[in-house]
Structures are given as structure tokens and as C-alpha cells.
Chains A and B, each alone.
Chain A
Amino acid sequence: MGEAPRRELTSERLRRELNFQVPEELARRVREAAAIRAKILKCLEGREMTVREIAREAGIPESVVFWHLMTMYKYNLVEPAEKTEDGLYKYRLKRGR
């Protein structure tokens, strides 16, 4: 008996109907953001770091690191740990994620 044909996803259908190509600018932004998130997550593997430390190690501006970090915090990928004396929080990967 052969496998049942896979049902077409509605997203695939809309793609086909609109002859949709991801706009270049959007594709670039998605790739860039994914790369930044991956760098941040790699930095945090097995340790706790402040925004400043991540920025220095990953070579990304602090404001960009913080924006992505807070986005990942809301999506339960990272969590704040202790606060340092200069008012900066350390962040770590969310336990059990």
C-alpha cells in the first residue's frame, strides 16, 4: 500500500496562488536576526552574562543584543539571573527550555 499523499498546507497554497517570493529586504532581516539570536544563545551556553559581556564577545552593539535578548526573554528562551553592582542583569538560558 502506498503512502497517502501529503495534504497541501494552506500557506503553501497561498504561496502558489500569489506566486509569492519573499521580498529581499525581509529575507535579509530574517537572516540577520537569526544570526544574532544564534550568537547570543551560543554565548549563554552554560554561563550567565550581562548585555555588555555578550556584546563584547559576539561583536554586536549593546542595544541590539538587549533588544533580541528581551525578545527571547518573552519567548521563554532566556531568563534574568542575578543583578550586578552596576545595575546590569546577568542572563542565562532558560532552564528546561
Chain B
Amino acid sequence: MQKILERAEAAGEQLSYDAVVIGGGIAGMEASLSLADMGYRVLLVEREPTIGGKMFLLSKVFPTLDCASCIATPKMAAAARHPNITLWTYSEVRRVRALDRGAFEVDILRKPRFVNESLCTGCGLCEDACPVVVPKELDFGLRGRKAVYIPLDTAVPRKAVVDIDNCILCGQCERRCPAGAIDFTQKPRVYRVRARAVVIATGCRPFPAELKEAYGYGRTPNVITALQMERLLAPTRPYNAVLRPSDGREPGNIGYVLCAGSRDVTAGNPRCSQVCCMYSIKQAQLLLGALPLADVTIYYMDVRAYGKGFEEFYQRARSMGVKFVRGRVARIEGLPNGDVRVMYEDVEEGRLKSAVHDLVVLAVGLLPDNEVLKAFEGVTIHTDELGFVKVDPEDPVRTNVEGVFAAGCITGPKDIPDTILEAAAAAMRCAAFLKEVEARQT
């Protein structure tokens, strides 16, 4: 990509919007839709080839067990089609400069998809023709994808994209595409956009489980993260069933390790991820639906069932037969047959114990996805010691820079309802700011 990016051209057009929303996950989409519904013109910028963020990768949401895709995909479609929203996927914010009160200059790199979006029908024939297979990021490596690919069946836009770093320029996709949509003449373009406000909604990223070395992630194939399990349980799942990656066998005995890379000073992340207790309990319930004969054990320090309906959800898991073991897991190791041994301290009994599982799921913590903060020039967006954007406790969507708002997991780990609530609040605050700027200008 580096050689391609060197060919970037400056776009001549001067574009101007009321607000630039950075991040097309559930927070960014909600903030954009709320602003657009109030009549403001929004540019929604997403780094990935599809909007949807983490939510559209999930199976179901807790505690209602509603289908996550069924909530996220209508919002994705609405954001893409709203007349007041301009959607730029596969685009990166390179620079944000505050020029004046209510005046920002934002440089945005639009990376080439090497696919003409207006011609691509999303038929997938290019994928069939491509000879290159690499691990699929949206399935967290559980299976492969081609170098030209449609991110997911529910992607918005549902258009192919060429991963130029892994493309061998063999031309197979171009020969196969019946619409003539493959276009390697596309060049990266840098747009300079004027905006009156900025909303940061770049969300979070999972704690890199391999950093918690004692848990064996990356070395032991049957130690996976909870996001990988989400994919195994989702309607757009990578396998035909819930299967373990080492040999494709249905697991009969699954262990969950909570607080893997969260509430853990030794892992550099002392903060509670807010959601790992509840998503583990949700997955345990879903697993008992998918694999009725399975045993599910959850190793926990304490269960933080703090929200509405959460305690009942936890009690339901217990009554369904999910086993809860209060104990901190010290070490996880793979056995020659693919099984996984978990060594832990049973706090209730005060003894060191071990147990063997077919599959172990690490409920990893959440870290901020804050790369974009480096793009701010002349101003610094304040963050806490872990890199989450600091907001005013009495106005929890306002950053230290006037006209810059933040919503969702970029201000701290939180669940989907809180994220949506915060995004709507950010949109409201942003709209009030825009009104104030307008009033001063007239």
C-alpha cells in the first residue's frame, strides 16, 4: 500500500459540512443519523471498507437476546441512504486543524478500493477467481478471505475491495468481473473538508490476548477470544456450526475466563471492560442453545451484573446449568489432543485446582481505538492514562476542545444501549453548538 499511497493526489474540490463524524460504528452512525435528522449535513468517515463497527459482527445483544445484526443493519442502511449524510468508507482522517470557533479543516485520505463502486453489484465472482487467501480480519482469523473481497454479506456498502498489500496483480478478478468494476487505475485522493464541528466515535479495540502470555492465546488453537466466539455464534458465522479451530470438533465442554486483560495491572489494563461478564453469560446461554449437551464453566472474580435486567440474566444462566467458579485463572496450557487445561485458584475452597476443557474462551478487555487523536494539529484532545478521551463528567460527551465531541467506547468501555444513548447526546450537544455558532455569525 505504501507505494500506492505515494501516488496520492490532492482533490481539487472544496467540501464543506456542518459536522464530520469520525467512525462508522454504532456510535458514529447514531450520532450522524441524529444530526442529519435535525437537518445538519454530516460527513461520516469510516476507516474500514464497511460501516457497522463491532456491533454488526456480534451474535445477539444482552440481556434481551435480540439479534445484533437486526438492530445494526437497518441503521447502516439508513446512514448510507440519508440525504444529509455523505458516507466515506475506506477513508482515514489524516489531519484536523481548528481554524476558529466552529471552523475545522479536516484532511481525509480516501483509499482506492480498486473497484468502481457504482458498477460493482457485490456478486462475489471476483472473490471466486482470486488465488490469494489471507486470514479474514472480520472473523478474527478463524478462516480465510481472498485478496479481493466483500467484507461481509451484511456490509454497507456491499461492494468488493482489493487488499492491495496482498494482491499479486494477476488480473484474475478483472477478467472474471462481468460488470467491469475492477479498476486498478484508481488513486488515493486527499480531500480538504471544512466542518463546523467534529464528533469522535472511533470506539474500542479488544485487548490483544497474546499479551497475556500465561493464557496461551496464539499458541494454543483452542484458546479463542470472546469476539471469535461471537463470530462462531453469529448468523454470518465462518463455520457451519460452533466448532473448535484445532480439528473442527464440536466442543462438549467450554470454559470462559473473565477479566482476561482487564482489571489486571500486570497486563497494563487495570480498568473493568464493563461488558465481559454479561457477554460471557450471553454466549454461555447461546452455546447451550447451539450445543444442548455442552458443559459451560465461567471462571470469574466477581460478576458485575449492574444494569437493568442483568441480574435476572445472570440467574437465568445459572438455572440453565452454566457453572460459575469463583477463581482467578493463573495459567492455561494446550494438551496434545487439542484439549486445554485451565489452572486456577478456587477462591471459595481456597485451593489450587485444574480443569480440562475442549475449548477456552478469553473474555478480553477493551482498549481505546484512539489513533485518530494524533491527527489533531494545534490542539490536543485530552485522554486518561489508558488513552480514552477525557470528557467533562457533568457533560460526558464534551471534550476539552470546543466543537469537538466524543461518544461511545472512545470515552470508556460501555455496552450498546449506553453507547447509543451517548451518541444521541453527542449529536444533541453538537447541534446546540452549531446553533450557537450560527447565531453568532448572523
- Interface positions of A (Cβ within 8 A of B): 9-15, 18, 20, 22, 26-27, 29-30, 33-34, 37, 50-52, 55, 62-63, 66-71, 73-75, 79-80, 83, 86-89
Expressed in whole angstroms, the Cα–Cα distance for A45 and B4 within the complex equals 42
CA of A62 to CA of B245, assembled, Å: 9
B319 is an interface residue with CB less than 8 A from chain A? no
Enumerate chain A residues within 8 angstroms of B170, measured Cβ to Cβ. 11
- Expressed in whole angstroms, the minimum distance between the Cβ of A91 and any Cβ of chain B is 8
Taken residue by residue from 160 to 194, chain B's Cβ proximity to chain A (1 for < 8 Å, 0 otherwise) reads as: 00000010111101110000001111000000000
B241 within 8 A of A: yes
The residue in chain A whose Cβ has the minimal distance to the Cβ of B238 is: A70
Complex Cα gap A7–B323 (Å) = 65
Interface pairs (13), CB distance under 8 Å: A9-B184, A11-B171, A26-B166, A27-B168, A50-B248, A55-B247, A62-B338, A67-B142, A68-B144, A70-B142, A87-B252, A88-B247, A89-B240
Cβ-defined contact, B250 with A87, below 8 A: yes
Measured CB to CB, the nearest residue on chain A to B144 is A71
Q: Which residue of B lies closest to A84 (CB)?
A: B249
CA distance A52 to B251 in the complex (A): 15
Provide the residues of chain A in CB contact with B182, threshold 8 Å. Answer: 10-11
The answer to whether B248 and A74 have CB atoms under 8 Å apart is no
- How many A-B contacts are there with CB distance less than 8 Å? 104
Do the beta carbons of A9 and B248 come within 8 Å of each other? no
| Residues of B contacting A73 in the complex (Cβ-Cβ under 8 angstroms) | 143, 239-240
Q: State the B residues within 8 Å of A (CB).
A: 3-4, 127-128, 131-134, 142-146, 166, 168-171, 173-175, 182-185, 221, 238-241, 243, 245-252, 338
Chain B, Cβ-Cβ closest to A71: B144
Taking CB atoms, residues of chain A closer than 8 Å to B247 are 51-52, 55, 62-63, 66, 88
Query: Looking at A10, A27, A55, which has the most chain B CB atoms within 10 Å of its CB?
Result: A10
Cβ of B145: which chain A residues have Cβ within 8 Å of it?
71
Known: A70-B238, A87-B250. 6 other contacts (CB 8 A): A11-B182, A62-B247, A66-B243, A70-B143, A70-B144, A71-B145
Q: Binding site of A, secondary structure by majority: helix, strand, loop or mixed?
A: helix
Please determine whether A62 and B183 come into contact, CB atoms closer than 8 angstroms. Answer: no
Given contacts A10-B182, A67-B144, contact A33 B171 (CB under 8 A): no
Partner of B143, one of A15, A74, A80: A74
Closest approach, in angstroms, between the C-beta of A11 and any C-beta of chain B?
A: 4
Task: Find chain B residues with CB under 8 A from A74 CB.
Answer: 143, 238
**Are B246 and A66 neighbours in the complex by a CB distance under 8 Å?**
yes
A55 to B183, CA, bound (A): 39
B250 with A22: CB separation less than 8 A: no
Q: How far is the CA of A12 from the CA of B168 in the complex (A)?
A: 11
The residue in chain B whose Cβ has the minimal distance to the Cβ of A62 is B247
Contact call B248/A88, Cβ cutoff below 8 A: yes
Q: Which residues of B contact A29 (CB under 8 A)?
A: 134
Give CA–CA (A46, B223) in the complex, Å.
34
Residue of A nearest to B145 (CB): A71
Residue on B with the closest CB to A78?
A: B240
Q: Which of A14, A22, A68, A83 has the most CB of B within 10 A?
A: A14
Known contacts A27-B168, A89-B248; A10/B184 CB under 8 A: yes
